[in-house]
Amino acid sequence: MSLGHSRITVDVRTSEEYKTGHIPGALNIPLLNEEERAEIGILYKKTGREKALDRGLEIIGPKLYSIYKAIVTASDSNQFELLRHSELLRHCEQSEAIPLIIYCWRGGLRSRFVTSMLNFMDLRCNQLEGGYKSYRRWVLKQFESYKPEELLVIDGFTGSGKTKLLIELKANDYPVIDLEALASHKGSVFGDISSPPQPTQQQFENSLAEELLNIGRVRPIILEGESRRIGFLQIPKPFFETMDKASRLMIDETLEKRVENIYEEYIKSTPQDILADRVLKLEKHLGRERCKELLAELHSGDVKVFVKRILNEHYDKVYMKSYKRRQDAGQLVYSSRNDREEISNWLRESC
Protein backbone atom coordinates (compact mmCIF):
# COMPACT_ATOMS: atom_id res chain seq x y z
CA MET A 1 0.00 0.00 0.00
CA SER A 2 1.35 3.41 -0.93
CA LEU A 3 0.97 6.28 1.53
CA GLY A 4 -0.40 8.74 -0.95
CA HIS A 5 0.93 11.48 1.35
CA SER A 6 4.47 12.64 2.00
CA ARG A 7 5.94 11.87 5.40
CA ILE A 8 8.80 13.49 7.31
CA THR A 9 10.86 11.32 9.64
CA VAL A 10 13.19 12.26 12.48
CA ASP A 11 15.62 9.73 13.92
CA VAL A 12 16.43 10.63 17.55
CA ARG A 13 18.98 7.84 18.06
CA THR A 14 22.71 8.53 18.39
CA SER A 15 24.71 9.50 15.33
CA GLU A 16 26.53 6.14 15.51
CA GLU A 17 23.24 4.22 15.42
CA TYR A 18 22.06 6.39 12.53
CA LYS A 19 25.25 5.74 10.53
CA THR A 20 24.79 1.98 10.90
CA GLY A 21 21.38 2.22 9.25
CA HIS A 22 18.30 4.45 9.16
CA ILE A 23 15.06 4.95 7.30
CA PRO A 24 16.13 6.53 3.99
CA GLY A 25 15.51 10.27 4.08
CA ALA A 26 15.29 10.52 7.87
CA LEU A 27 17.02 13.44 9.57
CA ASN A 28 19.17 12.58 12.58
CA ILE A 29 18.57 14.83 15.60
CA PRO A 30 19.99 12.81 18.52
CA LEU A 31 18.46 13.01 21.96
CA LEU A 32 21.63 11.50 23.48
CA ASN A 33 25.14 10.92 22.23
CA GLU A 34 26.75 7.48 22.39
CA GLU A 35 28.53 8.11 25.72
CA GLU A 36 25.38 9.45 27.37
CA ARG A 37 23.33 6.51 26.12
CA ALA A 38 25.92 4.06 27.45
CA GLU A 39 26.03 5.83 30.83
CA ILE A 40 22.25 5.66 31.25
CA GLY A 41 22.20 2.01 30.17
CA ILE A 42 24.81 1.06 32.78
CA LEU A 43 22.99 3.07 35.45
CA TYR A 44 19.72 1.29 34.59
CA LYS A 45 21.33 -2.13 35.01
CA LYS A 46 23.12 -1.26 38.25
CA THR A 47 20.59 0.92 40.08
CA GLY A 48 17.26 0.53 38.30
CA ARG A 49 14.85 2.53 36.18
CA GLU A 50 14.20 5.50 38.48
CA LYS A 51 17.81 6.67 38.82
CA ALA A 52 18.44 6.06 35.11
CA LEU A 53 15.44 8.23 34.21
CA ASP A 54 16.58 10.95 36.62
CA ARG A 55 20.03 11.01 35.02
CA GLY A 56 18.51 10.96 31.57
CA LEU A 57 16.36 13.98 32.34
CA GLU A 58 19.37 15.79 33.79
CA ILE A 59 21.29 15.21 30.54
CA ILE A 60 18.40 15.92 28.16
CA GLY A 61 16.94 18.97 29.91
CA PRO A 62 19.46 21.55 28.63
CA LYS A 63 19.11 20.17 25.08
CA LEU A 64 15.34 20.33 24.70
CA TYR A 65 15.08 23.78 23.20
CA SER A 66 17.84 23.16 20.63
CA ILE A 67 16.25 19.82 19.65
CA TYR A 68 12.87 21.48 19.23
CA LYS A 69 14.35 24.33 17.16
CA ALA A 70 16.34 21.90 14.99
CA ILE A 71 13.17 20.00 14.08
CA VAL A 72 11.14 23.17 13.45
CA THR A 73 13.92 24.82 11.42
CA ALA A 74 14.52 21.75 9.28
CA SER A 75 10.81 21.31 8.67
CA ASP A 76 10.34 24.95 7.72
CA SER A 77 13.31 24.91 5.33
CA ASN A 78 12.32 21.60 3.70
CA GLN A 79 15.59 19.87 4.57
CA PHE A 80 13.77 16.57 4.92
CA GLU A 81 13.53 14.07 2.11
CA LEU A 82 9.85 13.25 1.73
CA LEU A 83 9.03 9.58 1.89
CA ARG A 84 6.42 7.23 0.51
CA HIS A 85 6.53 4.43 3.02
CA SER A 86 3.53 2.26 3.82
CA GLU A 87 5.15 0.86 6.96
CA LEU A 88 5.16 4.30 8.57
CA LEU A 89 1.42 4.63 8.14
CA ARG A 90 0.77 1.13 9.44
CA HIS A 91 2.80 1.74 12.59
CA CYS A 92 1.39 5.17 13.38
CA GLU A 93 -1.81 5.28 15.37
CA GLN A 94 -3.07 8.27 13.47
CA SER A 95 -2.60 9.31 10.38
CA GLU A 96 -2.95 10.76 7.14
CA ALA A 97 -3.11 14.29 8.51
CA ILE A 98 0.10 14.08 10.54
CA PRO A 99 3.23 14.24 8.37
CA LEU A 100 5.90 14.23 11.11
CA ILE A 101 7.09 10.89 12.51
CA ILE A 102 9.63 10.39 15.29
CA TYR A 103 11.48 7.13 15.86
CA CYS A 104 14.23 5.58 17.97
CA TRP A 105 15.49 1.99 18.21
CA ARG A 106 12.40 0.20 19.58
CA GLY A 107 9.79 2.93 19.84
CA GLY A 108 10.75 3.46 23.46
CA LEU A 109 11.53 6.34 25.76
CA ARG A 110 13.65 8.45 23.41
CA SER A 111 11.09 8.83 20.65
CA ARG A 112 8.19 8.95 23.15
CA PHE A 113 9.87 11.81 25.01
CA VAL A 114 10.49 13.86 21.86
CA THR A 115 6.99 13.13 20.52
CA SER A 116 5.42 14.31 23.78
CA MET A 117 7.52 17.48 23.80
CA LEU A 118 6.61 18.35 20.21
CA ASN A 119 2.92 17.69 20.75
CA PHE A 120 3.05 19.88 23.88
CA MET A 121 4.47 22.65 21.68
CA ASP A 122 1.56 22.15 19.23
CA LEU A 123 3.78 20.54 16.60
CA ARG A 124 1.67 17.51 15.74
CA CYS A 125 3.63 14.32 15.31
CA ASN A 126 3.51 10.57 15.87
CA GLN A 127 5.88 8.02 17.32
CA LEU A 128 6.77 5.12 15.04
CA GLU A 129 5.56 2.09 16.94
CA GLY A 130 8.31 -0.49 17.30
CA GLY A 131 10.86 2.03 16.04
CA TYR A 132 13.75 1.25 13.70
CA LYS A 133 13.79 -2.36 14.88
CA SER A 134 10.27 -2.84 13.52
CA TYR A 135 11.22 -1.09 10.29
CA ARG A 136 14.15 -3.48 9.85
CA ARG A 137 11.84 -6.47 10.24
CA TRP A 138 9.68 -5.03 7.46
CA VAL A 139 12.76 -4.49 5.25
CA LEU A 140 13.96 -8.08 5.58
CA LYS A 141 10.50 -9.48 4.87
CA GLN A 142 10.39 -7.66 1.52
CA PHE A 143 13.24 -9.78 0.15
CA GLU A 144 11.36 -13.00 0.87
CA SER A 145 8.20 -11.99 -0.98
CA TYR A 146 9.33 -12.00 -4.63
CA LYS A 147 9.05 -14.78 -7.20
CA PRO A 148 11.43 -15.30 -10.16
CA GLU A 149 8.74 -14.30 -12.69
CA GLU A 150 8.54 -10.84 -11.04
CA LEU A 151 12.14 -10.08 -12.02
CA LEU A 152 14.03 -9.80 -15.32
CA VAL A 153 17.83 -9.82 -15.18
CA ILE A 154 20.04 -8.20 -17.82
CA ASP A 155 23.04 -10.43 -18.27
CA GLY A 156 26.24 -10.37 -20.30
CA PHE A 157 30.01 -10.52 -20.13
CA THR A 158 31.89 -7.85 -18.16
CA GLY A 159 32.02 -4.61 -20.15
CA SER A 160 28.89 -5.29 -22.21
CA GLY A 161 27.26 -1.99 -21.25
CA LYS A 162 24.58 -3.46 -18.98
CA THR A 163 24.58 -0.51 -16.57
CA LYS A 164 24.22 2.01 -19.40
CA LEU A 165 21.26 0.04 -20.72
CA LEU A 166 19.66 0.06 -17.26
CA ILE A 167 20.03 3.83 -17.05
CA GLU A 168 18.43 4.27 -20.48
CA LEU A 169 15.55 1.94 -19.60
CA LYS A 170 14.92 3.81 -16.34
CA ALA A 171 14.86 7.10 -18.23
CA ASN A 172 12.13 5.57 -20.40
CA ASP A 173 10.00 4.65 -17.38
CA TYR A 174 10.81 0.95 -17.19
CA PRO A 175 10.78 -0.47 -13.63
CA VAL A 176 14.53 -0.59 -13.02
CA ILE A 177 16.62 -1.09 -9.87
CA ASP A 178 20.34 -0.35 -10.19
CA LEU A 179 21.92 -2.48 -7.47
CA GLU A 180 25.39 -1.15 -8.21
CA ALA A 181 24.21 2.45 -7.74
CA LEU A 182 22.61 1.53 -4.40
CA ALA A 183 25.83 -0.24 -3.36
CA SER A 184 28.16 2.54 -4.65
CA HIS A 185 30.26 -0.10 -6.38
CA LYS A 186 30.36 -1.44 -9.95
CA GLY A 187 30.96 -5.05 -9.01
CA SER A 188 34.38 -5.88 -10.46
CA VAL A 189 37.80 -5.51 -8.85
CA PHE A 190 37.84 -1.99 -10.32
CA GLY A 191 34.30 -1.29 -9.11
CA ASP A 192 35.12 1.19 -6.34
CA ILE A 193 37.13 3.49 -8.61
CA SER A 194 35.48 6.93 -8.82
CA SER A 195 32.61 5.73 -6.61
CA PRO A 196 31.58 7.30 -3.29
CA PRO A 197 32.11 5.22 -0.12
CA GLN A 198 29.82 2.22 0.15
CA PRO A 199 26.87 2.40 2.54
CA THR A 200 26.57 -0.03 5.43
CA GLN A 201 24.91 -3.39 4.78
CA GLN A 202 21.81 -2.24 6.66
CA GLN A 203 21.53 0.97 4.66
CA PHE A 204 21.97 -0.89 1.38
CA GLU A 205 19.12 -3.23 2.37
CA ASN A 206 16.93 -0.32 3.51
CA SER A 207 17.42 1.53 0.22
CA LEU A 208 16.72 -1.62 -1.80
CA ALA A 209 13.50 -2.31 0.13
CA GLU A 210 12.33 1.27 -0.46
CA GLU A 211 13.12 1.01 -4.19
CA LEU A 212 11.11 -2.22 -4.43
CA LEU A 213 8.18 -0.60 -2.63
CA ASN A 214 8.21 2.52 -4.80
CA ILE A 215 8.36 0.56 -8.06
CA GLY A 216 5.44 -1.69 -7.20
CA ARG A 217 4.68 -5.05 -8.73
CA VAL A 218 2.79 -4.31 -11.94
CA ARG A 219 5.56 -5.35 -14.35
CA PRO A 220 8.73 -7.43 -13.96
CA ILE A 221 11.48 -5.41 -12.25
CA ILE A 222 14.61 -5.11 -14.39
CA LEU A 223 17.99 -5.58 -12.71
CA GLU A 224 21.57 -6.21 -13.76
CA GLY A 225 23.05 -9.65 -13.20
CA GLU A 226 25.41 -9.61 -10.24
CA SER A 227 27.31 -11.98 -8.04
CA ARG A 228 25.91 -11.88 -4.52
CA ARG A 229 28.76 -9.70 -3.27
CA ILE A 230 29.05 -6.13 -4.56
CA GLY A 231 32.22 -4.71 -3.06
CA PHE A 232 31.91 -5.21 0.70
CA LEU A 233 28.14 -5.60 0.55
CA GLN A 234 25.91 -8.58 -0.13
CA ILE A 235 22.58 -8.76 -1.92
CA PRO A 236 20.11 -10.13 0.67
CA LYS A 237 20.16 -13.90 0.33
CA PRO A 238 16.43 -14.53 -0.36
CA PHE A 239 16.34 -11.79 -3.01
CA PHE A 240 19.57 -13.00 -4.62
CA GLU A 241 18.22 -16.54 -4.80
CA THR A 242 15.12 -15.22 -6.56
CA MET A 243 17.28 -13.21 -8.99
CA ASP A 244 19.34 -16.32 -9.65
CA LYS A 245 16.23 -18.17 -10.87
CA ALA A 246 14.79 -15.29 -12.90
CA SER A 247 14.69 -15.03 -16.70
CA ARG A 248 17.69 -13.39 -18.38
CA LEU A 249 18.06 -10.93 -21.22
CA MET A 250 21.53 -11.52 -22.70
CA ILE A 251 23.63 -8.63 -24.05
CA ASP A 252 26.06 -10.17 -26.54
CA GLU A 253 28.79 -7.56 -27.12
CA THR A 254 32.07 -8.05 -29.00
CA LEU A 255 35.30 -8.41 -27.03
CA GLU A 256 36.78 -5.34 -28.73
CA LYS A 257 33.84 -3.18 -27.71
CA ARG A 258 33.94 -4.52 -24.16
CA VAL A 259 37.64 -3.68 -23.88
CA GLU A 260 36.87 -0.16 -25.12
CA ASN A 261 34.00 0.22 -22.62
CA ILE A 262 36.17 -0.81 -19.67
CA TYR A 263 39.06 1.35 -20.81
CA GLU A 264 36.80 4.42 -21.03
CA GLU A 265 34.90 3.76 -17.80
CA TYR A 266 37.64 2.59 -15.43
CA ILE A 267 41.13 2.73 -16.88
CA LYS A 268 41.57 5.91 -18.88
CA SER A 269 41.53 8.40 -16.00
CA THR A 270 42.76 6.14 -13.17
CA PRO A 271 46.37 6.42 -11.90
CA GLN A 272 48.50 3.34 -12.56
CA ASP A 273 49.25 2.75 -8.86
CA ILE A 274 45.53 2.35 -8.15
CA LEU A 275 45.10 -0.04 -11.09
CA ALA A 276 48.14 -2.03 -9.95
CA ASP A 277 46.65 -2.36 -6.47
CA ARG A 278 43.43 -3.77 -7.97
CA VAL A 279 45.38 -6.29 -10.09
CA LEU A 280 47.08 -7.62 -6.95
CA LYS A 281 43.63 -8.43 -5.56
CA LEU A 282 43.22 -10.94 -8.40
CA GLU A 283 46.32 -12.89 -7.37
CA LYS A 284 44.34 -15.66 -5.63
CA HIS A 285 42.40 -16.20 -8.88
CA LEU A 286 45.14 -15.73 -11.47
CA GLY A 287 48.30 -16.68 -9.60
CA ARG A 288 51.37 -14.59 -8.86
CA GLU A 289 53.10 -15.06 -12.21
CA ARG A 290 50.15 -13.98 -14.35
CA CYS A 291 49.61 -10.96 -12.11
CA LYS A 292 53.24 -9.99 -12.65
CA GLU A 293 52.73 -10.24 -16.41
CA LEU A 294 49.59 -8.07 -16.20
CA LEU A 295 51.42 -5.47 -14.14
CA ALA A 296 54.24 -5.41 -16.70
CA GLU A 297 51.74 -4.77 -19.50
CA LEU A 298 50.06 -2.07 -17.44
CA HIS A 299 53.34 -0.27 -16.73
CA SER A 300 54.52 -0.63 -20.33
CA GLY A 301 51.51 1.42 -21.45
CA ASP A 302 49.84 -1.40 -23.38
CA VAL A 303 46.69 -0.85 -21.36
CA LYS A 304 44.11 -2.30 -23.74
CA VAL A 305 46.07 -5.55 -23.99
CA PHE A 306 46.10 -5.52 -20.18
CA VAL A 307 42.28 -5.14 -20.12
CA LYS A 308 41.80 -7.83 -22.75
CA ARG A 309 43.87 -10.32 -20.77
CA ILE A 310 41.94 -9.69 -17.56
CA LEU A 311 38.70 -10.34 -19.43
CA ASN A 312 39.94 -13.46 -21.21
CA GLU A 313 41.79 -14.99 -18.29
CA HIS A 314 39.42 -14.17 -15.44
CA TYR A 315 36.06 -12.47 -15.90
CA ASP A 316 34.95 -14.29 -19.05
CA LYS A 317 35.81 -17.68 -17.57
CA VAL A 318 33.82 -16.91 -14.42
CA TYR A 319 30.86 -15.69 -16.45
CA MET A 320 30.84 -18.70 -18.79
CA LYS A 321 30.17 -21.04 -15.86
CA SER A 322 27.00 -19.19 -14.89
CA TYR A 323 26.02 -18.69 -18.54
CA LYS A 324 26.08 -22.43 -19.25
CA ARG A 325 24.11 -23.15 -16.09
CA ARG A 326 21.41 -20.64 -17.01
CA GLN A 327 21.33 -21.86 -20.61
CA ASP A 328 20.76 -25.43 -19.40
CA ALA A 329 18.01 -24.19 -17.07
CA GLY A 330 16.22 -22.35 -19.91
CA GLN A 331 16.60 -18.96 -18.24
CA LEU A 332 18.00 -17.12 -21.29
CA VAL A 333 14.83 -15.77 -22.88
CA TYR A 334 16.35 -13.23 -25.27
CA SER A 335 19.74 -12.31 -26.71
CA SER A 336 20.73 -9.09 -28.47
CA ARG A 337 23.87 -7.55 -29.99
CA ASN A 338 23.21 -4.52 -27.78
CA ASP A 339 20.73 -3.05 -30.24
CA ARG A 340 18.82 -0.61 -28.05
CA GLU A 341 15.80 -0.31 -30.36
CA GLU A 342 15.55 -4.07 -30.71
CA ILE A 343 15.77 -4.52 -26.92
CA SER A 344 13.12 -1.84 -26.29
CA ASN A 345 10.76 -3.48 -28.77
CA TRP A 346 11.22 -6.86 -27.09
CA LEU A 347 10.65 -5.38 -23.63
CA ARG A 348 7.47 -3.61 -24.75
CA GLU A 349 6.08 -6.86 -26.11
CA SER A 350 7.24 -9.04 -23.23
CA CYS A 351 6.88 -6.82 -20.14
Q: For the packed helices 288-300 and 303-310, what is the interaxial angle rounded to 10 degrees?
A: 150
CA distance 115 to 63: 15
**Which residue among 104, 125, 291, 351 is the active-site one?**
104
Determine the Cα angle at 58 with ends 52 and 63, to 5°. 125
Distances, alpha carbon 201 to alpha carbons 7, 8, 179, 230, 316, in Å: 24, 23, 13, 11, 28
Phi, psi (degrees; rounded to nearest 5) at 162: -65, -40
Mode of pairing for the β-strands spanning 8-11 and 27-28 = parallel
Instruction: Kindly report the length of the chain.
Output: 351
250 within 8 A of 332, measured Cβ to Cβ: yes
DSSP assigned state of 81? P
Residue 148 CA to its chain's centroid (Å): 20
Distances, alpha carbon 140 to alpha carbons 7, 54, 201, in Å: 22, 37, 12
In the annotation, is 291 catalytic?
no
The residues annotated as belonging to the active site are: 104
